[in-house]
Structure 1
Amino acid sequence: MILQIVAVTAGLGLVIAGLGLALLWLLRGRSIGIMLAVVAVVTVAATLAGVVAITIEMIIDGHPKNVVLTVVGVAGLVGLGVAMVVARQVVAASRRLVAAVEAVSPSSDFVPASGRLPAELETISRALEQAYERLREGRERERALEGARRELVAWVSHDLRTPLAGMRAMVEALEDGVVADEKTVRRYHNQIRLEVDRLSHMVDDLFELSRIHAGALRLVPRRIGLGDLVADALAGVEALAKAKGVRLTGEAAPVLPVYADAAELGRALRNLVVNAIRHTPEDGTVVVRAVADDGTVRLSVADCCGGIPEDDLPRVFDVAFRGEAARTPGPDRGAGLGLAIARGIVEAHEGAIAVVNEGAGCRFEIRLPISGPAD
């Protein structure tokens, strides 16, 4: 008899379960509340079918049979009611979550849904909050980059327009014969050559910066000694330092190898040294050091510029940033790209670059790993 009851109950349960799964498949695109209700109905129906089968098999008649069926029916309705309540709560929580997502605008942050949510929906809410935070940070970076690009275009346009206008005036004076004496003609020619050189450097910087921003900077790393790198950088800017009346000092450990692209890293270091010379007054000193420190090397350039305003420190490496006092550069000033290029080159080497106020000026510092894949 027991085997027969088990067989009948299992058979009815499987039939009802199959019908329930088929119904869930048909309703797979509907509300989760409806799906939960179907699950509850299938569970109650399978239970009722088993109880009815047992009741019939045990040949319960009369009042006991009615009592059993009534109790089972009431229990099924209670279970169905509880399932409906749970379904309504889940649906309400999901709607609150959807409303919180729909309430987000391009100018606002994601505000989590009010009230407590089921654990799974709470996890989704936290994930959405983190995703919207990343999107917001991305939008801010894009706005900052767009602002920097517009500022760069405006400043470069100004820096191009001014020397071009001067060269045009000098060329016209030479063509029209307004200037005829040899000394003035020679001075005009020298000035035109200097302006052409400055414009060429500006174009080179713009090209380098565009490669960095496009991710097209291709490094050819190898083991190099920083002593040689410092010496080459100082030799390349010696003429500028003498013209400005600035003393240069270089210090490097005897054996200090680093895995890097010598040409690109040398350019980054020269940019820092040139920037230091330009902002150091006459008779000031620029010190370049290369030291090892706990698995990394530090390349530092210290100047006597008088320091950088604290509000400007976070923007020093931004494209075209010169500071309020230097928006109109003199003949020896660049387009404000040198520090941005240095940062791009250092980051391409998986290093870090920073600036701090120190002593009579500020100190720029590059940090790089001592060794690389060549070890």
Structure 2
Amino acid sequence: MKDLLLIALFAFLGAAAAGLVGLVALRVLRRRSVAVSLAVVAAVAVGAMLAGTMAVAQAMFLSSHDLKVVTTVCAMAAAVSLATALLLGRRVVAGSRALTAATRSFGDGGSFAPPTGAPTAELAALGRELAVTSAKLARSRAREQALDASRRELVAWISHDLRTPLAGLRAMAESLEDGMAEDPARYHRQIRTEVERLSGMVGDLFELSRIQAGALALARARISVYDLVGDAIAGVYPLARELGVRLDGGSVDSVPVEVDGKEMTRVLGNLLINAIRRTPADGTVAVAARRERDEVVLSVTDGCGGIPEEDLPRVFDTGWRGNDARTPPAGAGLGLAIVRGIVEAHDGRAGVRNVPGGCRFEVTLPAALW
């Protein structure tokens, strides 16, 4: 028993010495290829066994013949281990280089395609994670590009809508100042109308900036959808009567929601004004509300003839007004963007789809508990 313990001790000391040498080698070569590190690890494993054997032999526990046999076995094991380590290292290096090349193209703005046949599970998992990250960044870049395009369009349209009334205001003011106006009262009324329109445009810009900055403070209260729709219809009735458009609110269920009444009335008002202006005279704008499971769906259906399918995804973008809405009274194209912002602030969603003869805007809100 004592001899066995001594053999174990000498073998441990020899193997430990080989292990220390291997640690030093790994530290010195830590910046080299992983193939070199794998070769060092394989050499340490065989060297530890050989060093332990030599230590036991020096302590006279092995004969010279046995030492030669063990040394020969260790040499063969070392050759096979080093060859295996080098082959594995080359595969890992090749996989790492392929992953690096794919990541480089991904960093340059392209899409990431993980290389096939990853040599290790870790590299395969890293490739999958990079593919997911690439998809997220691609969506983010697409949203950023769409937002930039929307902002450029908004600036162009706002500039157009400001230049025209400001030029008119300047001309009327100069006419009044020079005493050249034949009907000063009419000029005063026109100036007031233009100023009110510009004030509404500035108000919409301010409201949209609050929404996009996340600074829209909501005073939620329990209210019936029936009352919301009634208030909104009452607010737009004069415009509908002036343009000869009928308002139909007979399909509104009295279901409760917890919303900011003022902001949600603005949502319905914007949708109704947009629908009334797009519906020809003698047409009908219908408002409906129904409960679907845990949600309340409010819809405004007009008779505009429909929206081109390619424009449907852009309807709620900031500044979008369609191809035939570049002049007053279309506004700055902010009304529907404000609608979406307010609805999303209420944890809801806004959508639009074409129906026979027109289109239907839908606002979906969480239903309040009975």
TM range (shorter): over 0.9
Any residues of structure 2 matched to 1:259-278 within 5 Å, and which? Answer: 259-278=258-277
Question: CA 1:179 to 1:55, structure 2 compared with 1: closer, same or farther past 3 Å?
Answer: same
Q: Which residue of 2 aligns with 1:341?
A: 338
Please give the secondary structure, in 2, of the residue aligned with 1:237.
helix
Name the SS for the 1:325 alignment partner: coil
Q: Which amino acid aligns with 2:293?
A: D
Which string of whole-angstrom CA distances, capped at 9 and with x for unpartnered residues, describes residues 155-203 of structure 1? Answer: 01100111111111111111111124xxx22211111111111111100
Residue number in structure 2 paired with 1:256? 255
Q: Quick one: percent identity of the two aligned structures? A: 51
Residue in structure 2 matched with residue 50 of structure 1 by the alignment: 52
1:47-92 residue CA offsets vs partner (Å, 9 max, x unmatched):
2223334555674434443233212222122212211221122122
- Aligned with residue 88 of structure 1, among 87, 90, 99: 90
Aligned to 1:190: 189
Q: Which residue of 2 aligns with 1:296?
A: 295
Determine the structure 2 residue equivalent to 1:320: 319
The whole-number CA distance in structure 2 between the counterparts of 1:65 and 1:36 is: 27
Partner of 1:287: 286
CA contact (8 A) 2:53 2:67 kept: no
Conserved 8 A contact 2:236-2:273:
yes
Task: Quote how far apart the aligned CAs of 1:136 are.
Answer: 1.8
Match in the other structure for 2:243:
244
Please give the alpha-carbon distance, in whole angstroms, between the structure 2 residues aligned to 1:106 and 1:368: 41
Tell which deviates more after alignment, 337-346 or 55-64.
55-64
Matches within 5 A, 1:145-160: 145-160=147-162
Q: Distance in 2 between the 1:335 and 1:116 partners?
A: 53
The TM-score normalised by the length of structure 2 is: 0.93
- Give, in whole Å, the separation in 2 of the partners of 1:119 and 1:207: 53
2:353 aligned partner? 356
Give the alignment's TM-score, normalised by structure 1: 0.91
| Structure 2 portions without partners, runs of 5+ | none
Unaligned 5+ runs, structure 1: none
Q: For residue 23 of structure 1, report the CA deviation from its aligned partner.
A: 4.0
Cα distance in structure 1, aligned partners of 2:305 and 2:253: 31
Equivalent residue runs for 1:75-154 within 5 Å: 75-104=77-106, 106-113=108-115, 115-154=117-156
CA distance in 1, matches of 2:302, 2:253: 23
Letter in 2 for 1:346: V
User: In structure 2, do the counterparts of structure 1 residues 59 and 179 end up closer, same or farther at CA, with 3 Å as the change threshold?
Assistant: closer
Determine if contact 2:14/2:53 at 8 Å carries over to the other structure: no
Paired letter, 1:342: V
For 1:71, give the aligned amino acid: V
Q: Hey, what's the Cα distance between the residues in 1 that align with 2:52 and 2:63?
A: 17
CA RMSD of aligned residues (A): 2.1
- Tell me the equivalent position of 1:208: 207
Q: Is the 8 A contact 1:251 1:290 kept in 2?
A: no
State how far apart, in whole Å, the 1-side matches of 2:225 and 2:21 are.
77
- SS at 1:93's partner residue? helix
Counterpart residue type for residue 249 of structure 2: G
Sort the Cα spacing of 1:122 and 1:340 in 2 relative to 1 into closer, same or farther, 3 A. same
